[in-house]
Chain A
């Protein structure tokens, strides 16, 4: 009994972190500025009622590792990163490589794999500053923005888990949401592409829809397509609302070279369309459908060309090929990847037009 009690009491000396006695940081920004690393932390304060007020803490250091300890020296309560929801990298920082941070995150058992990562066009600090000033009570403005766009718009799903998977896998490269400062607002501007943990380029928000449908089955996203050459601005475009899109890859051999066929099948509804299209005529309809498919194939070809030029593989084509071939070799494959023939085949099925859900 005595032994049991002393066991309990002695082993219970683990330092407790009572929730209101720690400084919970919810967003973190990393920048590289004038040869120094700058860390920015956003933490909420809950003193004025159930509404939260976001606050900023900034510090700079010559190394990445002691940013959080240095932040502690500016904080009244111990800083805890267990509730981190978003980490934002400044573009300069991202270009120098985010490997150190990612490795540390991969080993940190306090942060969840739902943690979101992002890249900002300018400095991360500036962007976080904007969100703390423009949003009244929301410390989670950026994470909510990303989640909203991933679940209903063009952004492919991203989080720490997926990032690490793509980062460590030999046959694919990671990508992250890309933000830009537009006046006093933060705008999602597409995807930032990484190669070996370094920022190498970006795709626009429109194109990130293509990335989204090429990655997985999706049920959302919008895409504007040009269907005619008539007249004024806007008159020749249709707005495609994705209802259900699937993609299938096929790895074929043609002579000595390989060909990658990509079959994309989109069930879509056309939300808005030019007035001249408003004729229930089969011929026009199939013409439009054909045009849309051609345009989309072109776009996909263009996007993949871009990836091939940059020698990155955010779609995980390497992973797909690895699953199809024996003795797959990353070095060999990516030598071939640069000028691999990729043939997209798009089928668009319009199931709804006009207003209708």
Chain B
């Protein structure tokens, strides 16, 4: 099936099909329906996929009008169908390629004469069949703030965005992707804010995608990625509407994909992954504090167990004298070296997480209790692990879940393992080594050509206002300059700082 209209220039698409060949091919499926009847001397033929069209619309707006109104207009042509059929955008074409595409998307093709190559294409696709009408943002939960999340239907998602950004500058650029799925992918940006170069990069990369079926937005995420060998996600994927809208307003590009309740936001920086929309709904002091807690959580999660291993295996000198007793005592029954102890527990926790994620919710709860309490307690009593290790590993796991973006929290749990290995082999030097590797890697990463570690590397002091801390709204009128927005200010900074007296 190498028919892909917008790829024509690069593809060698030899066979030029006729309408008849197409119809014969489509008839192989039993849900492909051909309705033929004679009206007024015309031999009308209607072709559609039963499984894609909305039967109600088909009967009430197409069949009904064709049967009743066509006889009233004896000289009717295909172009005149718009006059009698109350459905928007009826297209008349003889392009076989396009006809195939549209029929496969739930259009009805109306043909007046069997021999005529031209057909009218009428949209009766059933957009919402089999899809959730609404979605609570369950995976990126926030206590305060809107709970509406994106759904699988891209039309609904576009509506959700358009409803909050009431400006003609909001542009949706639609492009079908996937040679087989022809998935509707929409690039959204605000014209006059988003940098032109960024938009071009996004569009160009999307156009270069060659893939059969786009199952989910995360596929696009991976294919678009600047460095596909990195464990770090380079684009934010979110199901929260407010997050997507905030990204649009700050000059980022949002990519929506039909069939995926997640949207992809780019270019993103490393620190974007640790901001939660809730930071913006709390007072700035609290928002900043929780953000700092999250950063601390990441560091703790990545470094806690490697440091434990390194200290216990190589650097017993640096244990404070009051901790020496508890640590040695808790390890006195454990037959393994610290590295095996840590790996055992880390893998147990990963198993628990994986099992909990795959099981139905109700079973998963039981599993959490069984795994967390029973295995933890039993493995300490059996002398497989030490109590202090258990505490450190579970705290580290807990801390990794504070990251709001799921992809990032996966990454954080993953990069722990190489650091653990380094620390087991080289001790403290190994940890430094691994962290250096990590920083070098992060420093080299790019997201749609934008540096990943900005505002730290390259240093952009101006953009610290909303990175590690979330400043007050009187300070954040500027959009992040590293996105090179075409308009710098989100709102008037002077008016935001001005305090109106109540008596005025």
Using a CB–CB cutoff of 8 Å, the interface residues on chain A facing chain B are 8-9, 11-12, 14, 16-20, 22, 24, 26, 44, 46-47, 49-52, 80, 82-83, 85, 110-112, 140, 143
Contacts and interface: CB of A to CB of B under 8 A. Distances in A.
A17 to B, nearest CB: 6
Given A18-B338, A52-B325, A47 B332 contact: yes
Contact of A18 (B312, B319, B426, B430): B312
Contacts of B338: 18
State the majority secondary structure of interface residues on A: loop
A46 B319 contact: no
Given A9-B425, A14-B427, A83-B321, A19 B337 contact: no
B95 to A, nearest CB: 51
Given A8-B425, A50-B329, A18 B324 contact: no
B332 A20 contact: yes
Contact size class for B?
20 to 34
B43 interface: no
Contacts, number: 70
A117 to B, nearest CB: 16
A181 B244 CA distance: 76
B314 interface: yes
B329 A83 contact: no
Interface string B325-350: 11111011010011000000000000
21 contacts: A8-B425, A8-B426, A11-B425, A12-B425, A14-B427, A16-B337, A18-B313, A18-B338, A19-B313, A19-B327, A19-B328, A20-B328, A24-B316, A24-B324, A44-B325, A47-B329, A47-B332, A50-B329, A52-B325, A83-B324, A111-B317
B329 A14 contact: no
B321 A85 contact: yes
A143 B324 CA distance: 15
Contacts of A26: 321
Contact of B329 (A46, A85, A110, A111): A46
A161 to B, nearest CB: 15
A12 B426 contact: yes
B422 interface: yes
Interface in B395-428: 421-422, 424-427
A83 B316 contact: yes
A211 B329 CA distance: 41
Contacts of B311: 19
A126 to B, nearest CB: 24
Contacts of A50: 325-326, 329
B406 to A, nearest CB: 29
Nearest to A48: B329
B437 to A, nearest CB: 10
Nearest to A140: B321
B426 A11 contact: yes
Nearest to A109: B317
Contacts of A8: 421-422, 425-426
A14 B430 CA distance: 12
Contacts of B424: 12
B343 to A, nearest CB: 15
Given A18-B338, A19-B319, A22-B316, A46 B422 contact: no
A17 B310 CA distance: 10
Nearest to B424: A12
A52 B324 CA distance: 10
Nearest to B425: A12
Given A8-B425, A50-B326, A82-B316, A19 B321 contact: no
Contact of A110 (B317, B327, B430): B317
A83 B318 CA distance: 8
Given A9-B425, A17-B316, A24-B328, 11 more contacts: A14-B427, A16-B313, A19-B311, A19-B327, A20-B328, A24-B324, A46-B325, A46-B332, A50-B325, A82-B317, A83-B316
Contacts of B337: 16, 18
A18 B424 CA distance: 11
Contacts of B328: 19-20, 24, 46
Nearest to A10: B425
A47 B430 CA distance: 31
Contacts of A83: 316-317, 319, 321, 324
Most interface-central of A26, A44, A46, A52 (chain B CB within 10 A): A46
Contacts of B313: 16-19
B314 A16 contact: yes
A8 B437 CA distance: 13
A150 to B, nearest CB: 16
B386 to A, nearest CB: 9
A16 B422 CA distance: 13
A19 B325 contact: no
Interface string B283-314: 00000000000000000000000000001111
Contact of A19 (B331, B421, B425, B430): B331
B331 A20 contact: yes
B422 A80 contact: no
B341 to A, nearest CB: 10
B33 to A, nearest CB: 57
Most interface-central of B328, B338, B422 (chain A CB within 10 A): B328
A51 B328 CA distance: 11
Nearest to B317: A82
A141 to B, nearest CB: 12
Contacts of B331: 19-20
The 6 A-B pairs of least Cβ separation, nearest first, read A12-B425, A82-B317, A46-B329, A46-B328, A20-B331, A19-B316
A338 to B, nearest CB: 43
B20 to A, nearest CB: 57
A51 B326 CA distance: 9
A11 B319 CA distance: 25
Contacts of A143: 321
B335 to A, nearest CB: 10
A14 to B, nearest CB: 7
A156 B78 CA distance: 106
A35 B151 CA distance: 89
A80 B318 CA distance: 13
A80 B426 CA distance: 19
A24 B315 CA distance: 12
A318 to B, nearest CB: 34
A307 to B, nearest CB: 34
A24 B224 CA distance: 55
Contacts of A19: 311-313, 316, 319, 327-328, 331
A80 B314 contact: no
A14 B426 CA distance: 7
Nearest to B329: A46
A50 B334 CA distance: 15
A22 B430 CA distance: 22
Contacts of A16: 313-314, 337, 427
A26 B319 CA distance: 12
A46 B338 CA distance: 18
Interface in B75-123: none
A110 B314 CA distance: 11
B422 A49 contact: no
A212 B424 CA distance: 46
B327 to A, nearest CB: 6
Most interface-central of B311, B325, B334, B421 (chain A CB within 10 A): B325
A306 B297 CA distance: 59
Contacts of B326: 50
Most interface-central of B313, B317, B326 (chain A CB within 10 A): B317
B440 to A, nearest CB: 14
Contact of A80 (B316, B321, B329, B425): B316
